[in-house]
Amino acid sequence: MAVRDALLALLSAGPGYGFQLHGDLAGRTGGRRRVNVGQSYATLERLGKQELVESAGTTDDGLPLYRATAAGSAATSAWFAGTDASGSDPWDETVDRVLVAASLPGVDAGPIVAAERVRWRERERATSARSTPDADASAETAADALAAARLVALAAAAESARATAVLSWLDAVDAASAAGDLSFATRLERPRRGRPSATKPGDARAEPGQASTEA
Protein backbone atom coordinates (compact mmCIF):
# COMPACT_ATOMS: atom_id res chain seq x y z
CA MET A 1 0.00 0.00 0.00
CA ALA A 2 1.28 3.46 -0.86
CA VAL A 3 1.06 5.79 2.13
CA ARG A 4 -0.22 8.34 -0.37
CA ASP A 5 -3.35 6.32 -1.15
CA ALA A 6 -4.06 5.56 2.48
CA LEU A 7 -3.76 9.17 3.65
CA LEU A 8 -6.00 10.37 0.83
CA ALA A 9 -8.54 7.71 1.79
CA LEU A 10 -8.46 8.85 5.42
CA LEU A 11 -9.13 12.41 4.31
CA SER A 12 -12.25 11.18 2.50
CA ALA A 13 -13.82 11.03 5.97
CA GLY A 14 -13.17 14.75 6.45
CA PRO A 15 -10.34 17.16 7.30
CA GLY A 16 -7.56 15.97 9.55
CA TYR A 17 -4.18 17.05 10.91
CA GLY A 18 -0.86 15.32 10.50
CA PHE A 19 -0.41 13.46 13.76
CA GLN A 20 -4.04 12.32 13.79
CA LEU A 21 -3.74 10.98 10.24
CA HIS A 22 -0.49 9.23 11.13
CA GLY A 23 -2.19 7.42 14.03
CA ASP A 24 -5.25 6.62 11.95
CA LEU A 25 -3.06 4.95 9.35
CA ALA A 26 -2.06 2.31 11.89
CA GLY A 27 -5.47 2.08 13.55
CA ARG A 28 -7.49 1.66 10.37
CA THR A 29 -5.21 -1.07 9.05
CA GLY A 30 -5.49 -3.11 12.23
CA GLY A 31 -1.95 -2.17 13.25
CA ARG A 32 -0.30 -3.75 10.21
CA ARG A 33 0.84 -0.42 8.75
CA ARG A 34 3.09 1.61 11.05
CA VAL A 35 5.27 4.06 9.14
CA ASN A 36 7.74 6.62 10.39
CA VAL A 37 5.94 9.78 11.45
CA GLY A 38 8.23 11.83 9.22
CA GLN A 39 7.09 9.77 6.23
CA SER A 40 3.48 10.69 6.94
CA TYR A 41 4.30 14.40 7.10
CA ALA A 42 6.52 14.27 4.01
CA THR A 43 3.74 12.49 2.11
CA LEU A 44 1.21 15.15 3.11
CA GLU A 45 3.58 17.87 1.92
CA ARG A 46 4.04 16.04 -1.39
CA LEU A 47 0.29 15.63 -1.79
CA GLY A 48 -0.06 19.37 -1.29
CA LYS A 49 2.44 20.08 -4.06
CA GLN A 50 0.52 17.67 -6.30
CA GLU A 51 -2.72 19.57 -5.49
CA LEU A 52 -4.34 16.43 -4.07
CA VAL A 53 -4.73 17.99 -0.61
CA GLU A 54 -5.09 21.58 0.51
CA SER A 55 -5.22 23.59 3.70
CA ALA A 56 -8.47 23.40 5.67
CA GLY A 57 -7.49 25.93 8.32
CA THR A 58 -6.34 24.86 11.75
CA THR A 59 -7.63 23.03 14.82
CA ASP A 60 -8.71 25.03 17.87
CA ASP A 61 -5.19 24.64 19.24
CA GLY A 62 -3.49 25.72 16.03
CA LEU A 63 -2.59 22.47 14.25
CA PRO A 64 -2.76 22.72 10.42
CA LEU A 65 -5.72 20.84 8.96
CA TYR A 66 -5.75 19.14 5.55
CA ARG A 67 -8.59 18.21 3.25
CA ALA A 68 -8.69 16.35 -0.04
CA THR A 69 -9.17 18.34 -3.23
CA ALA A 70 -11.45 17.14 -6.00
CA ALA A 71 -8.43 15.46 -7.60
CA GLY A 72 -7.55 13.84 -4.28
CA SER A 73 -11.07 12.49 -3.87
CA ALA A 74 -10.93 11.09 -7.41
CA ALA A 75 -7.66 9.31 -6.57
CA THR A 76 -9.30 7.74 -3.51
CA SER A 77 -12.24 6.57 -5.61
CA ALA A 78 -9.81 4.96 -8.05
CA TRP A 79 -7.94 3.21 -5.22
CA PHE A 80 -11.17 1.88 -3.70
CA ALA A 81 -12.17 0.74 -7.20
CA GLY A 82 -9.07 -1.45 -7.40
CA THR A 83 -6.28 0.69 -8.85
CA ASP A 84 -3.10 -0.56 -7.16
CA ALA A 85 -0.08 1.62 -6.48
CA SER A 86 2.74 1.19 -8.98
CA GLY A 87 5.07 -1.63 -7.96
CA SER A 88 2.87 -2.68 -5.04
CA ASP A 89 2.01 -6.22 -4.03
CA PRO A 90 -1.62 -7.15 -4.87
CA TRP A 91 -2.06 -8.94 -1.53
CA ASP A 92 -1.02 -5.86 0.46
CA GLU A 93 -3.17 -3.56 -1.65
CA THR A 94 -6.24 -5.75 -1.18
CA VAL A 95 -5.85 -6.17 2.57
CA ASP A 96 -5.12 -2.50 3.23
CA ARG A 97 -7.82 -1.25 0.87
CA VAL A 98 -10.49 -3.45 2.46
CA LEU A 99 -9.45 -2.67 6.06
CA VAL A 100 -9.34 1.08 5.46
CA ALA A 101 -12.68 1.10 3.63
CA ALA A 102 -14.35 -1.03 6.31
CA SER A 103 -13.07 1.26 9.07
CA LEU A 104 -14.27 4.55 7.56
CA PRO A 105 -17.76 5.77 8.52
CA GLY A 106 -19.90 6.40 5.46
CA VAL A 107 -17.93 4.07 3.17
CA ASP A 108 -19.77 0.96 1.96
CA ALA A 109 -17.07 -1.70 1.96
CA GLY A 110 -19.40 -4.36 0.51
CA PRO A 111 -18.89 -3.48 -3.16
CA ILE A 112 -15.14 -3.10 -2.57
CA VAL A 113 -14.93 -6.59 -1.07
CA ALA A 114 -17.05 -8.00 -3.91
CA ALA A 115 -14.80 -6.41 -6.56
CA GLU A 116 -11.69 -7.75 -4.83
CA ARG A 117 -13.22 -11.23 -4.83
CA VAL A 118 -13.80 -11.02 -8.60
CA ARG A 119 -10.21 -9.91 -9.22
CA TRP A 120 -8.71 -12.68 -7.08
CA ARG A 121 -10.89 -15.36 -8.70
CA GLU A 122 -9.57 -14.19 -12.06
CA ARG A 123 -6.00 -14.39 -10.74
CA GLU A 124 -6.69 -17.87 -9.40
CA ARG A 125 -7.95 -19.03 -12.81
CA ALA A 126 -5.03 -17.39 -14.62
CA THR A 127 -2.43 -19.04 -12.42
CA SER A 128 -4.11 -22.42 -12.79
CA ALA A 129 -3.81 -22.06 -16.57
CA ARG A 130 -0.06 -21.47 -16.21
CA SER A 131 0.48 -24.61 -14.11
CA THR A 132 1.04 -26.73 -17.26
CA PRO A 133 3.44 -24.59 -19.32
CA ASP A 134 4.69 -25.34 -22.82
CA ALA A 135 8.05 -27.02 -23.14
CA ASP A 136 11.04 -24.67 -23.12
CA ALA A 137 12.49 -24.96 -26.62
CA SER A 138 15.64 -23.07 -25.55
CA ALA A 139 16.58 -25.68 -22.92
CA GLU A 140 19.77 -27.57 -23.73
CA THR A 141 18.42 -30.96 -22.63
CA ALA A 142 15.08 -32.59 -21.98
CA ALA A 143 15.98 -32.73 -18.29
CA ASP A 144 16.55 -28.96 -18.26
CA ALA A 145 13.21 -28.39 -19.94
CA LEU A 146 11.46 -30.61 -17.42
CA ALA A 147 13.11 -28.82 -14.48
CA ALA A 148 12.11 -25.42 -15.87
CA ALA A 149 8.53 -26.60 -16.39
CA ARG A 150 8.34 -27.87 -12.83
CA LEU A 151 9.55 -24.53 -11.48
CA VAL A 152 6.95 -22.67 -13.50
CA ALA A 153 4.28 -25.03 -12.19
CA LEU A 154 5.41 -24.51 -8.60
CA ALA A 155 5.43 -20.72 -9.02
CA ALA A 156 1.91 -20.89 -10.44
CA ALA A 157 0.83 -23.13 -7.56
CA ALA A 158 2.15 -20.56 -5.09
CA GLU A 159 0.17 -17.78 -6.74
CA SER A 160 -2.92 -19.97 -6.88
CA ALA A 161 -2.55 -20.78 -3.16
CA ARG A 162 -2.27 -17.08 -2.36
CA ALA A 163 -5.39 -16.30 -4.37
CA THR A 164 -7.24 -19.03 -2.49
CA ALA A 165 -6.02 -17.56 0.80
CA VAL A 166 -7.20 -14.07 -0.15
CA LEU A 167 -10.63 -15.38 -1.12
CA SER A 168 -10.88 -17.14 2.24
CA TRP A 169 -9.85 -13.92 4.00
CA LEU A 170 -12.50 -11.94 2.11
CA ASP A 171 -15.08 -14.44 3.36
CA ALA A 172 -13.82 -13.71 6.89
CA VAL A 173 -14.28 -9.98 6.26
CA ASP A 174 -17.88 -10.59 5.19
CA ALA A 175 -18.48 -12.66 8.33
CA ALA A 176 -16.97 -9.97 10.56
CA SER A 177 -19.04 -7.28 8.86
CA ALA A 178 -22.19 -9.34 9.37
CA ALA A 179 -21.36 -9.67 13.07
CA GLY A 180 -21.04 -5.91 13.57
CA ASP A 181 -19.99 -2.58 12.08
CA LEU A 182 -16.22 -2.37 11.60
CA SER A 183 -16.10 1.42 11.24
CA PHE A 184 -15.17 3.90 13.94
CA ALA A 185 -15.03 7.68 14.22
CA THR A 186 -11.87 9.67 13.58
CA ARG A 187 -9.56 9.68 16.58
CA LEU A 188 -8.73 13.15 17.81
CA GLU A 189 -5.52 12.36 19.69
CA ARG A 190 -3.40 15.43 20.27
CA PRO A 191 0.41 15.27 20.13
CA ARG A 192 2.18 15.61 23.48
CA ARG A 193 4.65 18.42 24.04
CA GLY A 194 7.76 17.90 21.93
CA ARG A 195 6.08 15.79 19.25
CA PRO A 196 6.35 17.17 15.73
CA SER A 197 3.39 18.70 13.99
CA ALA A 198 2.40 18.53 10.34
CA THR A 199 3.17 21.44 8.07
CA LYS A 200 0.80 23.11 5.70
CA PRO A 201 0.71 21.70 2.15
CA GLY A 202 3.76 22.93 0.27
CA ASP A 203 5.40 24.35 3.42
CA ALA A 204 8.45 22.41 4.59
CA ARG A 205 8.76 24.41 7.81
CA ALA A 206 7.65 22.99 11.14
CA GLU A 207 5.46 25.07 13.45
CA PRO A 208 7.27 27.45 15.80
CA GLY A 209 8.59 25.67 18.84
CA GLN A 210 8.30 22.19 17.29
CA ALA A 211 10.95 20.06 15.66
CA SER A 212 10.95 19.56 11.91
CA THR A 213 10.22 16.04 10.66
CA GLU A 214 12.18 16.53 7.44
CA ALA A 215 15.70 15.11 7.08
What's the rounded Cα separation, in Å, for the pair 17 and 19? 6
Rounded mean pLDDT, 30-38: 90
For 102-149, what is each residue's pLDDT tens digit?
A: 999 999 999 999 999 999 999 998 887 665 655 555 667 888 888 888
- DSSP class of residue 130? T
Rounded mean pLDDT, 32-54: 93
Residues in CB range of 67: below 8 A, 6 or more apart:
11, 14, 15, 53, 54, 55, 56
Q: Is it the case that residue 76 has pLDDT exceeding 50?
A: yes
| Per-residue pLDDT band at 30 (split at 50, 70, 90) | very high
Mean pLDDT of the chain: 85
Residue type, 14: G
Q: Is it the case that residue 194 has pLDDT exceeding 50?
A: no
pLDDT of residue 74: 97
What is the CB neighbour count within 10 angstroms for residue 158? 11
Rounded mean pLDDT, 33-44: 91
| Per-residue pLDDT band at 209 (split at 50, 70, 90) | very low
| Per-residue pLDDT band at 183 (split at 50, 70, 90) | very high
pLDDT of residue 145: 84
pLDDT of residue 1: 55
Strands 16-17 and 64-68: antiparallel
pLDDT of residue 201: 59
Taking alpha carbons only, the member of 14, 198, 5 closest to residue 104 is: 14
